[in-house]
Amino acid sequence: MTIDPKSMSCEEFQSQLAELVGSGADVGNHPHIRECDNCRRLYQDLQTIADAAKQLFPDQQPEDDLWERIESAIKKGDS
């Protein structure tokens, strides 16, 4: 089932966020993120973390499952 990006709930968007970022999609122009302040702030925070990690380890590429592990840690913190 394909979800209309314009009518996505925050939960639906956040469940796809790791995949969107990993795919190289322009997440900043995603229809949900343009309308939702909370998800936009979450994405900006994740970008800040990713940028800081690049500065700490400029010659290393992040592991393929990095976004999934960040998402998992966020979900554990919400429960």
Cβ–Cβ < 8 Å for 52, 59: no
Rounded Cα–Cα distance for residues 56 and 38 (Å): 27
Mean of per-residue pLDDT scores for the chain: 82
In this prediction the pTM is 0.62
Q: How far apart are the first and last CA of the chain?
A: 27
Rounded Cα–Cα distance for residues 44 and 47 (Å): 5
Residue 56 tokens, joined: 């700490």
Q: Which of 3 and 63 is assigned the larger pLDDT?
A: 63
Q: Please give the average per-residue pLDDT across 43-72, as a whole number.
A: 80
* Per-residue pLDDT tens over the stretch 5-39: 667 899 999 998 888 877 878 888 899 999 999 99
Q: Where are the alpha helices (DSSP H) in the chain?
A: 10-23, 31-35, 37-56, 66-78
Q: Which of 53 and 60 is assigned the larger pLDDT?
A: 53
Q: Which of 61 and 31 is assigned the larger pLDDT?
A: 31
